[in-house]
Amino acid sequence: MRLNEARRDLYRRLAREQGYKSRAAFKLIEANERYGFIRLGDRVADFGAAPGGWLQVASFLVGEDGLVVGVDLDPIRLKEKNVVAIKMDVHDPAVAEKVSQALGGKADVVLSDLAPSVTGVWELDQTRQIDMTLRVLELSRTLLKGGGRVYCKLFEGERSQEVRGEFRRMFRSVRVIKPAASRNAASELYYLCEGPQV
Ligand SMILES: C[S@@+](CC[C@H](N)C(=O)[O-])C[C@H]1O[C@@H](n2cnc3c(N)ncnc32)[C@H](O)[C@@H]1O
């Protein structure tokens, strides 16, 4: 078995044993252990949230005084009391209003693990993922508090420069993270952006 597959299997097994909905949960746990961008009492918006691994992690981190709102095309079934799930397309013009209402105010943190159903044609998959990420940044302009944090996935390729430019225009600090739980071969990176939005 190749190392990447072994690693993926390990995270899948851990997710099952620890009751997480997805192995993606570890990509958030690992980054937050290092940078502590989700804190007790935070309000968090999570785009591309199904089946709910990140929601479970964020729910635990924000505690009972915090709130986590997840948006996905797919339904999300979670028991956590501080989680609200919205079944919606991120490109829907009503999504900002819906999330804002559910949050009851601005978000301290915006998360995005959005990924399209993969066609196998990398240029097409990448361009669709980039459009989703740009949409999350657009939503963040409305939803995120000044000084808030964004942690989001980005498919690397020709157009990623465009998104990185936008990160730098909007935030004071931009960090690139490759979580161990992310396959080495996968051309995905995570970005943690913090600080005042312009
Ligand atoms: C990698 S999965 C997210 C895994 C999640 N972070 C977890 O921990 O369980 C990517 C998600 O993006 C969602 N997605 C893709 N396009 C979307 C869109 N236009 N609007 C909302 N969600 C979308 C997919 O349905 C899928 O559930």
Q: Which residue's alpha carbon is nearest to atom 11 within ligand 1?
A: 48
> Can you tell me the distance from the alpha carbon of 58 to that of 188, in angstroms, rounded to the nearest whole number?
21
Cα of 160 vs centre of ligand 1, distance in Å, is: 19
Atom of ligand 1 nearest to the CA of 57: 8
Q: Which residue's alpha carbon is nearest to atom 24 within ligand 1?
A: 48
CATH code at 18? 3.40.50.150
Domain that holds residue 169: 3-194
Question: In the structure encoding, which two tokens stand for residue 30, read together?
Answer: 């690992």
87 belongs to the catalytic site: no
How many domains does one find in the chain?
1
Contact status, residue 69 vs residue 103, Cβ threshold 8 Å: yes
Q: Which residues pair with 154 in a beta bridge?
A: 189
Burial of 126 (0-12, 13-18, 19+ CB in 10 A): buried
pTM (two decimals)? 0.93
Q: Which pLDDT tens digits describe the chain residue by residue (198 residues)?
A: 565 677 677 777 877 878 888 899 999 999 999 999 999 999 999 999 999 999 999 999 999 999 999 999 999 999 999 999 999 999 999 999 999 999 999 999 999 999 999 898 888 999 999 999 999 999 999 999 999 999 999 999 889 999 999 999 999 999 999 988 876 566 899 999 998 764
Q: Which residue's alpha carbon is nearest to atom 22 within ligand 1?
A: 72
